[in-house]
Amino acid sequence: MALRIIFMGTPEFSVPSLRSIIDSGHRVIRVYTQPPKKKSRGQKIHKSPIHLVADTEGIEVKYPNYLSDEDYNYFLKSKPDLVVVVAYGKLIPKKFLDIRNLLFINLHASLLPKWRGAAPIERALLNLDKETGVSIMKITHGLDEGPYMKQVKVKIEKKTNSGELKKKLSSLGAQAIIDSLKTISLKGEQFVNQDESKSTYAKKIVKSETKIDWSSEAKYILGKINAFNPKPGAWFEYENKRIKVLEADEVIKQGRAGKVLDSNLTVATGKNSIKILKLQKEGKNIVNAENFLAGNKIEKGSDLN
């Protein structure tokens, strides 16, 4: 049975889910997304990735700063079978969630109850987790606290970065959404309550976290590099210029934390060292270490603190 769905989402991460729903034959009756934003250059208006897809597919789009009484009345009168939320970026008011016989489901990029909150992918990488995944959960009044009906696991490899993991979970999540819609259309959904004793919170990333602290162990610095690649980037400052590190390896060398140990950009940390492989100087392109050193002098013995 084809379901009548309201879809709520904003970034590129949400796009595979919306496209999969459209391609599966379900009817998306309206899309909600965040308002278009002005970019600094030329003040050009940029619509969200979900807004662009909805426009292309001829689906009505709403982008309110907050959900109003008018939106509430639409939810009541249009009688959708389901609301699907994928990285919408705004909290849904209680009175919407309390609409009788209307199920709100959410795709969350972690294995709940681990990493509830705004930055589950980055937190998993910073924490050096060995696996993560996606959860299809019922939205309730508490933040990411609702019971889940489906989870899909994925291994985190040693060099997996945030961009790669986000893309993988986006694709896995889209398929999990379709599987869940099939179950819901057959009225076979079953929800499992989360174990509150195992919950952790993935708080929003703040700028101060992205600076590399060379006194940390090498493995945690690598976790930071992976978590913030490609954006916003883990960085250090040298000669008043910010330099982002996009890729590195751990090596067994010791030295004073922050000291460059050789001519190949091996830097000592609190335990072991990291050999920088790819980096980006402020305002420049991403290059490998060899090309970077051809135009920038960071000599053995330099202090990167």
Q: Let me know if residue 177 belongs to a domain.
A: yes
164-167 contacts at long range (C-beta below 8 A, 24 or more positions apart):
165/121, 165/124, 165/125, 165/132, 166/13, 166/109, 166/121
Are 118 and 255 in the same domain? no
Read off the pTM: 0.95
- In the DSSP assignment, the letter for residue 280 is E
How confident is the prediction along the chain (305 residues), in pLDDT tens digits per residue?
899 999 999 999 999 999 999 999 999 999 999 999 877 666 688 999 999 999 999 999 999 999 999 999 999 999 999 999 999 999 999 999 999 999 999 999 999 999 999 999 999 999 999 999 999 999 999 999 999 999 999 999 999 999 999 999 999 999 999 999 999 999 999 999 999 999 999 999 999 999 999 999 999 999 999 999 999 999 999 999 999 999 999 999 999 999 999 999 999 999 999 999 999 999 999 999 999 999 888 999 999 99
Are 262 and 218 in the same domain? yes
Final residue of a structural domain among 170, 202, 234: 202
Q: Determine the structural domain holding residue 56 and report its residue range.
A: 4-202
Residue 5's closest CA among 146, 177, 143, 171?
A: 177
CA 91, CA 305: separation in Å to the nearest integer?
Answer: 40
Q: Let me know if residue 304 belongs to a domain.
A: no
Are 257 and 274 in the same domain? yes
Q: Let me know if residue 305 belongs to a domain.
A: no
Final residue of a structural domain among 202, 221, 252: 202
Final residue of a structural domain among 141, 168, 202: 202
Are 174 and 113 in the same domain? yes
Are 180 and 286 in the same domain? no
Sequence-distant (6+) residues with CB within 8 A of 113 are: 144, 145, 194, 195, 196, 198, 199, 200
Q: Can you give the CATH number for the domain in which 287 is found?
A: 3.10.25.10
Q: Let me know if residue 134 belongs to a domain.
A: yes
Are 169 and 212 in the same domain? no
